[in-house]
Amino acid sequence: MKHITTSSPLAMLGGKPACVTPTPDWPVFGREEEQALLEVLHSGKWWYGDRVRAFEEAYAAFHDARYGISCCNGSVALEVLMRSMGIGAGDEVLVPAYTFIASATSVLMVNARPVFVDVNEMDFNLNLEHAESLITEKTRALMVVHFAGLPIDLDAVRAFADKHKLRVIEDAAHAWGSQWKGVGVGTQFEGGTFSFQVSKNITAGEGGIIITNNKDTADLARSLTHCGRTLNGAWYEHRHIGGNYRLTEFQAAILLQQLARLEAQTRKREENAAHLNTRLAEIPGIHLQQTDARVTRRSYHLYMFRFVAEEFGHIDRDIFIRALEAEGVPASPGYLSPVYGNRCFQELRHVPGLRNCLHHAACAEAAVDYSRTHCPVAERLCSAQAVWLPHALLLGDQEQMRAVAAAIEKIYQHREALATATMT
CATH number, span 31-258: 3.40.640.10
Residue type, 79: E
CA separation for the pair 296, 383 (Å, rounded): 32
Exposed/middle/buried for residue 344 (C-beta within 10 Å: 0-12, 13-18, 19+): middle
Active site residue 155: no
> What's the Cα-to-Cα distance from 91 to each of 14, 76, 189, 229, rounded to whole Å?
57, 19, 19, 26
Among candidates 175, 120, 115, 112, which has minimal Cα distance to 145?
Answer: 175
355: pLDDT confidence band, cut at 50, 70 and 90?
low
Q: Is the pLDDT of residue 356 over 60?
A: no
Q: Is pLDDT of 351 > 90? A: no
34 SS3 class: helix
258 catalytic? Reply is no
Q: Choose, from 98, 100, 116, 303, the residue flagged as catalytic.
A: 100
State the pLDDT at residue 369.
87
Catalytic: 200? yes
Name the pLDDT band for 8 (thresholds 50, 70, 90). confident
Q: Of these residues, 229, 306, 359, 410, which one is catalytic?
A: 229
Q: What is the pLDDT of residue 314?
A: 82
> Is pLDDT of 85 > 60?
yes
What pLDDT is recorded for position 272? 98
In order, the DSSP letters of 262-325 are HHHHHHHHHHHHHHHHHHHTTSTTEEEPPPPTTEEE---SEEEEEE-HHHH-SS-HHHHHHHHH
Please say if the pLDDT value at position 187 is more than 60.
yes
Q: Could you read off the pLDDT of 18-48 as tens digits, one per residue?
A: 999 999 999 999 999 999 999 999 999 999 9
- The answer to whether 100 is a known catalytic residue is yes
Annotated active-site residue 2? The verdict is: no
pLDDT (0 to 100) of residue 423: 78
Cα–Cα dist 408/402, whole Å: 10
Query: Using 50, 70 and 90 to split pLDDT, how confident is the model at 365?
Result: low
> Which position among 83, 200, 301, 391 bears the catalytic label?
200
pLDDT at 243: 95
Catalytic residue among 51, 174, 222, 359: 174
Catalytic, 236? Answer: yes
Orientation angle between helical segments 50-62 and 249-280, nearest 10 degrees: 30
The answer to whether residue 197 is catalytic is yes
Contact yes or no for 311/284 (Cβ under 8 A) = yes
Domain boundaries in the chain? 31-258
Distance CA 75, CA 145 (A): 13
Residue tagged active-site, from 91, 123, 171, 292: 171
Rounded mean pLDDT, 314-331: 96
Name the percent of the chain lying above pLDDT 90. 89
Does the pLDDT value for residue 332 go beyond 90?
yes
Ranking 113-122, 165-174, 194-203, 341-350 by mean pLDDT, the lowest is 341-350
Phi, psi of 272 (to 5 degrees): -70, -40
Cis upstream peptide for 27 (omega within 30°): yes
Residues 6+ apart with CB under 8 A from 42: none
Cα–Cα distance between 198 and 203 in angstroms, integer?
Answer: 5
Mean pLDDT over the full length of the chain: 94
Dihedral, 347, 351, 354, 360 alpha carbons, nearest 10:
30
* Residue of 246, 275, 314, 349 with catalytic role: 246
Per-residue pLDDT of 388-404, as tens digits, reads 999 999 999 999 999 99
Find the catalytic residue in 197, 275, 316, 380: 197
Active site residue 35: no
